[in-house]
Structure 1
Amino acid sequence: MATTPPAYLDFIAANNDYVANRPVHHAGLSNLPSKRLTIVTCMDTRIDPHKQLGIRLGEAHILRNAGGAITADVIRSIHLSQTALGTREVAVFHHTYCGALPGTASASDTDAEKDADGNLLPSVYGDERAFCQFDQVEGSVKKSLHVLRTQGKLEPGTILTGWVYDVISGRITKVEGPE
């Protein structure tokens, strides 16, 4: 069986191309997102929030992790995004055919984060394992919105929305639910 060469071997050539073709205005971009927006989404390779949502460089913070889960680190990042960098809108995007859906990932108690004594670390989702698997995409979005509303320390007046991205059609659907 042939092995794939390490991806890092392409870094320098790709970066040289990027530098040669980089628009001059990128150097002058602020670290303050101009749309005052934070997007939380999955790390899935089929997701490109910039292209799929028409977000340009400098317009939003993009937070990515497995399943787009609202973990303690995501809450910390949103809090910093809001208090230090002025964002006032959070959009949560989960997607179809996610590796965090049961049967598509190999999560178990051994995959969950543990403390030095081997005890499972608490999850912001309550009694679920730190891996944050979910059974149904729309339900997971609603759960994430609930966690952000109740534990997210969001700034007053923050606009919070939830979405499902269909990896087959490329379409997004807004998830409606209780505020």
Structure 2
Amino acid sequence: MEFIETLIQRNAEFALNGFNAGLKILPSQRTMILGCVDPRVDPMDVLGLQPGEAAIIRNVGGRVDPAFFETMDILRTVSKAGGEEVGRGWSLVLLQHTKCGIKGCYHHAPALLAQQMRVEEPDLAQLEINDPYKAVAIDVAALRDHPSIPGDFTVSGLVYDVDTGLVDTVVAPARLRPA
């Protein structure tokens, strides 16, 4: 059996037993999570989220990159259409992890990674690709410096350890910028 057939069967089960037509377009916990595409680090599982609690954005490395800022701009527009502006009272969680595959790209295809991050190849070292603890702090700083991200977001930075299953708080929840 092809895996797509398995997925279709699982969807039919979901439609019967797990589907909730009452979910809203805006997350019930007013939370957005940026995480990595690595299947070991699904925020729904790692953080015990329930459907509809958070909007999850995933990219390679769970990094704040130019595409993330573009996505956030679009989500702010969607939220306005949904009746609420993203910002005050909202949380933005950065979730990176140990043993991330982004390191392989950094060491074996740095030009490709530099293109993705839209930086010059020599500047990749400043992004601390090899250290998720430092990378989270760098990404929170990038959020603080970017004018399109509402300053009244509460932002935090977490690192998930793929060996223990535990999350470490690297950047404690705090308002992105002072009022």
Report the TM range for the smaller structure's normalisation.
Answer: 0.7 to 0.9
Instruction: Quote how far apart the aligned CAs of 1:138 are.
Output: 0.6
Please state which structure has a larger fraction of its residues in helix: 2
Match of 1:137 in 2: 132
1:21-170 matches, within 5 Å, as 21-23=17-19, 26-85=20-79, 86-87=85-86, 88-102=90-104, 106-109=108-111, 111-112=112-113, 123=118, 128=123, 134-151=129-146, 153-170=148-165
Partner of 1:172: 167
Larger radius of gyration: 1
- TM-score calculated relative to the size of structure 2: 0.77
AA aligned opposite 2:8: I
Distance 2:8 2:94 in 1: 33
> Across the two proteins, how many residue pairs are aligned to each other?
164
* Inter-CA distance 60–54: structure 2 relative to 1 (3 Å threshold): same
State the one-letter code of the partner of 1:27.
A
Aligned mate of 2:8, from 1, 7, 12: 12
CA distance, structure 2, for counterparts of residue 60 and residue 161 of structure 1: 14
Give the counterpart letter for 2:17 in structure 1.
N
Stretches of structure 2 lacking an aligned partner (at least 5 in a row): 80-84
Structure 1: unaligned runs, 5 residues or longer: 114-119
User: Do the aligned residues in 2 keep the contact of 1:39 with 1:90 (CA within 8 Å)?
Assistant: yes
Shift of 1:127: 5.9
Superimposed CA distance per residue, residues 46-71 of structure 1 (whole angstroms, 9 cap, x where no aligned partner): 11212321321111110111100112
Relative distance call for 1:149 and 1:96 in structure 2 (3 A) is same
- Please say if residues 66 and 117 of structure 2, whose CA atoms lie closer than 8 Å, have aligned partners that are also in contact: no
Distance 1:112 1:93, change over 3 A: closer
User: Any conservation in 2 of the 1:42–1:64 contact (CA below 8 Å)?
Assistant: yes
Identity of aligned residues (%): 26
Which range moves more in the overlay, 31-40 or 45-54? 45-54
- Tell me: CA distance 1:11–1:102, structure 2 relative to 1, closer, same or farther (3 Å): closer
CA 1:89–1:168 in 2, change beyond 3 Å: closer, same or farther? same
